[in-house]
Structure 1
Amino acid sequence: MEFNLTESIQILGKTPYVISDILKDLPDTWIKTNEGGDTWSPYDIVGHLVHGEKTDWISRTLIILSEVTDKTFEPFDRFAQFKNSKGKTLDKLLNEFCQLRSENLQKLKAFKIDEQALMKTGVHPEFGPVTLKQLLSAWVVHDLGHINQITRVMAKNYKIEAGPWPKYLAVLQDKL
């Protein structure tokens, strides 16, 4: 499927509401549990998404669209949420995510991005040159991946309680 900016903005605009609808008003047993080890809980994921709104997607878009010579992105701290979310309620994080996403999508629309702009590049610290189209596509996939992750983590809360059904419930199998 070809990248479509309008459709991408639609998906990006829905993400905060989808996640909020899934998590709002649930007890900590649903939002603070993870899959074990160094995995993330739904609470951690929302904190990660908030951090991304502040430091990743729009910041990198601005670099790509700018006239500066050095278009190297700042490295993204994938674990900043563990410090930045401390002491915040899930409701506060969800509201912050929703507000930041709304502001970022307004900025994105204001850029008036055309096909030529989508082909402009920035330099990712790990991948090297990337186009704006690739960055924006990754943003959409990133959102969908974290929605998937949240629902997978939550589903695993009932893996044992589901008795024999996990055999037929792909979300409960570790092959995803």
Structure 2
Amino acid sequence: MIDLAEVVPLLERGPAVLRALYRDLPQPWLHASVGEEWSAHTVLVHLVTTEQRAWVHRIAHLLENPGGSIPGVNPGGPDPSREVDEMLDEFETLRADNLSRLSDLDLQTVQGTHPTLGAVTTDNIVAAWAIHDLNHQAQAMAAIAGRYRKTVGPFIPNLGILGSPG
């Protein structure tokens, strides 16, 4: 079974990492995107949405319905026109509530079925929750860095976050 004492500190830091990165950042940085798909702002909207609808909800669902299918994450979420600080506050509150709920669960390793990935366990979900944060933090940083991709000129090969020249 996954060691919550190891995973929870990582999950607790997620909102603070984004708050430190996003606070008072000018809008052009927040809306710069990588491949015209994900911006730092889009990442925040996505993280609030998944915090509202995915991780701890899926774990609780599997514990109540061992062997069942876990619910998908429907599109939607916070209004993307909301202020970033407002969404950061919501993310922080949701995460604290979800970690409290997680600690209240009688966590056991139970298997179920993900709508697109197939067999998953509660351990898989907890681990993916933590790594999902890291993945999107890196994605937000890459989007922010990408805004100056051309401006850094010949330094691109030394700045791995910008990827290969092109």
**TM value normalised by structure 2:** 0.91
Moved more, 51-60 or 2-11: 2-11
Equivalent residue letter for 2:57:
S
Say whether 1:172 aligns with 2:162.
Answer: yes
- For residue 104 of structure 1, give the secondary structure of its aligned residue in structure 2: helix
- Relative contact order, higher structure (CA 8 A, sep 6+): 2
Q: Distance in 1 between matches of 2:57 and 2:16?
A: 23
Corresponding residue number in structure 2 for 1:75: 72
Q: Distance in 1 between matches of 2:146 and 2:28?
A: 12
8 A Cα contact 1:152 1:172, kept in partner:
yes
Residues 106-138 of structure 1: CA deviation (Å, up to 9, x unaligned): 11111143xxx0x21121111222111111111
The alpha-carbon distance between structure 1 residues 120 and 16, as it changes in their structure 2 partners (threshold 3 A), is: same
* Shift, 1:4, TM fit: 2.7
The alpha-carbon distance between structure 1 residues 30 and 47, as it changes in their structure 2 partners (threshold 3 A), is: same
The alpha-carbon distance between structure 1 residues 63 and 88, as it changes in their structure 2 partners (threshold 3 A), is: same
- For residue 141 of structure 2, give the secondary structure of its aligned residue in structure 1: helix
Corresponding residue number in structure 1 for 2:104: 110
Corresponding residue number in structure 1 for 2:31: 32
Q: Distance in 2 between matches of 1:10 and 1:107?
A: 15
Identity %: 28
Moved more, 140-149 or 104-113: 104-113
Stretches of 4+ aligned residues off by more than 4 angstroms: none
- For residue 6 of structure 2, give the secondary structure of its aligned residue in structure 1: helix
Q: Distance in 2 between matches of 1:85 and 1:22?
A: 21
Corresponding residue number in structure 2 for 1:14: 13
* Shift, 1:173, TM fit: 1.2
Equivalent residue letter for 1:46:
L
8 A Cα contact 2:45 2:80, kept in partner:
no
* Shift, 1:161, TM fit: 1.7
The alpha-carbon distance between structure 1 residues 3 and 166, as it changes in their structure 2 partners (threshold 3 A), is: farther
- For residue 130 of structure 1, give the secondary structure of its aligned residue in structure 2: strand
In the alignment, structure 1 segments of 5+ residues that lack a partner are: none
Specify which of 101, 112, 121 is matched with residue 95 of structure 2.
Answer: 101
The alpha-carbon distance between structure 1 residues 23 and 155, as it changes in their structure 2 partners (threshold 3 A), is: same
For the aligned residues, what is the CA RMSD?
1.9
Q: Distance in 2 between matches of 1:174 and 1:3?
A: 36
Matches within 5 A, 1:93-172: 93-113=87-107, 117=108, 119-172=109-162
**TM value normalised by structure 1:** 0.86
* Shift, 1:90, TM fit: 0.7
In the alignment, structure 2 segments of 5+ residues that lack a partner are: none
- For residue 25 of structure 1, give the secondary structure of its aligned residue in structure 2: coil
* Shift, 1:70, TM fit: 6.6
